[in-house]
Amino acid sequence: MITEIITIGDELITGHTVDTNAALIARYLTDLGFSVRYRTSVGDSLETMEEAFRLALKRARLVITTGGLGPTDDDITRKAIVRLFRRNLIFHQDLLDDIRARFKRRGIEMPAINQNQALVPQGASLFPNKYGSAVGICIAEEGRIFISLPGVPNEAEQILVDEVIPYLRGLQVNKVVKTIKLRTTGIFESKLAELIGHEMKLESGVKLAYLPSYGGVDLRVMATGEDRQEATDKAQRLVRHLEESCGRYIYGREDDTLEGVIGQLLIDNDKTLAVAESCTGGKLGELITSVSGASGYFLGGIIAYANEVKEKQLGVENEILEKHGAVSEPCAVAMAVGCRGLLNADYALSITGVAGPSGGTEEKPVGTTFIGLASAHASYARKFDFGARRDSGRARATYAALEMLRREILDIK
Binding-site member from 341, 392, 407, 409 for a second copy (CB under 8 A)? 392
Instruction: Considering the complex, state which of residue 87 and residue 385 has its C-beta at the smaller distance from a second copy.
Output: 385
Give dist(CA 45, CA 42) in Å, integer: 8
Give the Å distances, CA to CA, from 330 to 169, 225, 320, 327, 340: 62, 55, 7, 9, 15
Give dist(CA 412, CA 371) in Å, integer: 17
Instruction: Considering the complex, state which of residue 109 and residue 142 has its C-beta at the smaller distance from a second copy.
Output: 109
Give the angle 285-186-208 at the CA atoms, nearest 5°. 120
Please state the φ and ψ torsions of residue 121, each to the nearest 5 degrees: -55, 140
Spatial strand order in the sheet of 206-213: 206-213, 216-225, 176-184, 250-253
Instruction: Considering the complex, state which of residue 109 and residue 411 has its C-beta at the smaller distance from a second copy.
Output: 109
Binding-site member from 83, 92, 390, 407 for a second copy (CB under 8 A)? 390
From 162-170, 232-240, 291-299, 370-378, give the range in contact with a second copy by CB under 8 A.
291-299
Binding-site member from 1, 32, 39, 264 for a second copy (CB under 8 A)? 39
Is 41 a binding residue for a second copy by CB under 8 A? The answer is: yes
Least CB distance to a second copy at residue 87 (A): 25
Q: Is 180 helix (H, G, I), strand (E, B) or coil?
A: strand
State the amino acid at position 47 in one-letter form. E
CB 118 within 8 A of CB 102: no
Instruction: Considering the complex, state which of residue 56 and residue 124 has its C-beta at the smaller distance from a second copy.
Output: 56
Binders of a second copy among residues 174 to 203 (CB under 8 A) are: 179, 181, 188-191, 193-194, 198
Is 52 a binding residue for a second copy by CB under 8 A? The answer is: yes
Give dist(CA 347, CA 336) in Å, integer: 8
Binding-site member from 32, 83, 365, 407 for a second copy (CB under 8 A)? 365
Please state the φ and ψ torsions of residue 229, each to the nearest 5 degrees: -60, -50
Binders of a second copy among residues 302 to 341 (CB under 8 A) are: 302-306, 308-309, 313
Instruction: Considering the complex, state which of residue 29 and residue 124 has its C-beta at the smaller distance from a second copy.
Output: 29
Least CB distance to a second copy at residue 115 (A): 10
Binders of a second copy among residues 224 to 263 (CB under 8 A) are: none
Is 136 a binding residue for a second copy by CB under 8 A? The answer is: no
Least CB distance to a second copy at residue 309 (A): 4
Binding-site member from 19, 157, 346, 408 for a second copy (CB under 8 A)? 19
Binders of a second copy among residues 116 to 135 (CB under 8 A) are: 130-131
Report the Cα 261 to chain-centroid distance in Å.
17
Pick the closest to residue 49 from 89, 104, 7 (CA basis): 7
Give dist(CA 199, CA 197) in Å, integer: 6
Is 74 a binding residue for a second copy by CB under 8 A? The answer is: yes
From 79-87, 140-148, 205-213, 402-410, give the range in contact with a second copy by CB under 8 A.
205-213
- Strands 2-8 and 35-42, by their bridges, are parallel
Binding-site member from 69, 76, 222, 246 for a second copy (CB under 8 A)? 222
Give the Å distances, CA to CA, from 38 to 183, 253, 343: 27, 28, 54
